[in-house]
Chains A and B, each alone.
Chain A
């Protein structure tokens, strides 16, 4: 029972709030283009994203999108849909955006384009939030571009910094190429089915006889989502973009943007391309995800293992985690694969905290100006024990060491596969790859912890300040990474509900 009966379009409130905050920032900047009122700008962004978060959580608790309670809401002729999965990912996006906004308060000290920065972040978040609700290839593409275009600008927002510009250029060029492939794939899917709305596509798979075109088109769509989720072979932009971008933006892209990429992947492949019909026309797309998952996690983790630059290590690890999340789609090959899908959603949720936190720690290091390599981080714990404690939590959680959140999601992924995949050698291979890569990942994550906690401090490092916003964000992310442990029940329930509602 809600207190008020809301219009159905109000279900988009989490997204609309983000968009409104972005517009509000434009208005603020129009009124005073020279403003350096950081509390106002960061505050607007934070309040907007927190409001979005609150509304999304409220919707989840009141049963919006729950088929058994208030029902899924399809809007604008089924172009958008607000269901449990949409809300789940809206929460992830809003949380990460809030953390980024808080952290950027300090990071942007002295920056010229502050209001632009925040409004671009919020516009990108709007795009990601819309991706969560997109239910048609049209809206998927528009939302994806709405998320991508501000991201290009954000990565290269340090206009006088060659690294930032190089990162932005590479991100943009690969992004443009990928979106061209994506939209071409969409056009082929449209050609083969005559529709762009996902359910309608599903009904017409194989009906028009362009089976080969449809196969190529679907593969191109896979390419599009692989780009957005930084999966091999569309991952090449990721290491550079994350390394060169301002650290909060790297956090934003590697957490929220990746999650948004996965939500469209989950949506498209569970709704538009029913596995049975697709297998009939000769494309068992779960096989493609099996291959992508194994290759992605292997490439990501192996490349991360010998990095010297912390941010780049995290970037490659982010690629590796994309591989873990891809398992969710690979797992749909068998009956009951929703468990694996739900585990992948949980992993993305936890990842939103731990990875954001890790990148924000790097942001803090950049703020301090201590350097970028592992050696530069040596002995930071003696000067900033709290932040370094949080870093240790992030690293161990990313590696999947109990009792942190990352362990549980990975554990659910693993047991999920084992439970459902009995006899499917491909999925068992995925499970084996998961274990091997997790073991390898522990090596390089632990290396950072060792540098920070056990190595002697670098000589001659000056006093480190305590930037409030960054500290708050890092500690918040750390606390959430730990708190996910007792709170895992609700998260898991939400993920299971979202995944089972998708049922093929």
Chain B
């Protein structure tokens, strides 16, 4: 009883604090430029503390969801509700936002001179509201409130994307981003309205339950999937992603790619918690789209020269992997193979966390490179590991993790999905097995392609010798920009080496989708084995290192130029493998899906001494071209063509009236309407 009292009081207290923090965000505009960051930090930390407190409460302590009266809304009270799923996502969001904001301090320093007070304030304000809106998206269940914060999320991120508004390109991208987000919102809106009209239940997530019990869920779910999928960036709904991420400042793209697109995943998961029957086709839909996203995403990533664009495409790929997990999970429910459900969902949800970690790490490090070299085109880089060793090593860590290589975290989530697949091959029927075959082949392929891509990007940026003089001025970034890398790196290691720790929260989250979560408990010994193996691996490496050190102590070590096959006149900068040439053989294989244009003037007939030539490749995204750009351009040009009503001649204006009158009169008299 006493405990209850205390908790209720506490809950009131922290709600109050939360609301105060929200109100205090507006104070940013009044604060001088150089203190805004600290004000932001204060608010961020307080928000993080409170929300994490709630999240931990409901994820680890309470058994049932946390429900707090938050604010008056539309004449009645609006509650925030935190169940296991929300709690998990809240923790993910908070961690990434925190690292992002720490990173921002160093990253924004150059802008402090260029931007005026209000602009900076707006930036920090939007960053705060990006976090707040994400948290509220996770907390609200009322549909209208949800939609509002959903759009707030889009707006704040939009304001963040157009931060470098000096570039004309940025604005264009920003608008496209805003519009596509808005379209997503519309789809979600339609889905809610459809469910509402279908069932006449409450206009909220709870209202869906009733609808899904009484109707075939596919139609409404499809609307939801499109709406949330645009945010998540499933192909072919992805076209905002590869533009918005590069345009945004790196701490923002880190957060956007790390957690914001996961809100789409959250939405899909949230909706799935209310669907309990006729899941097979839903599962197949998710799985198919996810496989396409995974493979096409990474393939498109391979051909990019812009490092942040490349990373953006990798986000699509990872969303694909998450989707594969979810899809398999759903199919598992449909065909009643609990192990597939459990491990599929578990893998997906863990991958959400993992991706948020290594993707933000990669974006931060890439941002550091950009800050130092002012170029995102990797063809101009090279040999940076000597200039910025810390950044390079963290980038490598991120790369290894994102390729799902042991002993890092990416491997764990993929491993869960794999073992889910392999365990359910036996119980599965023919259809299931074929699906599983396709999915694990897809996963394997994605893994391989990811390795291909990241060997390329890492070695082109950091290894070899510099390809242009932009590298010359590069220095290691200041420590505040290394700290977040450290934090994230630590998390990656922890998940990689001690995965068993994360099983119980995962189990509780997965519990929302299926009752029987026993099979995830069975994973614990296996995961322990994995951590042992990882340990052994590291130990081996250490041992060999020492061995070699000991062996080389006695021997003499020489420094000689790289073997150029006897050709000594080589220019180390130019006679290297470039990103383009590295990607070329994939491009050859995947001509139909990647249209890469090569600008090159072929040799003329009898051209003995060829004059100087330039060779350039441009890759464009067919999905985007054919599904987004061409149609929208067509519509707008069409609008412009038929916009002939404002002629400036009075007679025409009256003519409309006359025609209107006569036509309506006639059809009225004839009782047509």
> Are the chains A and B members of one assembly?
no
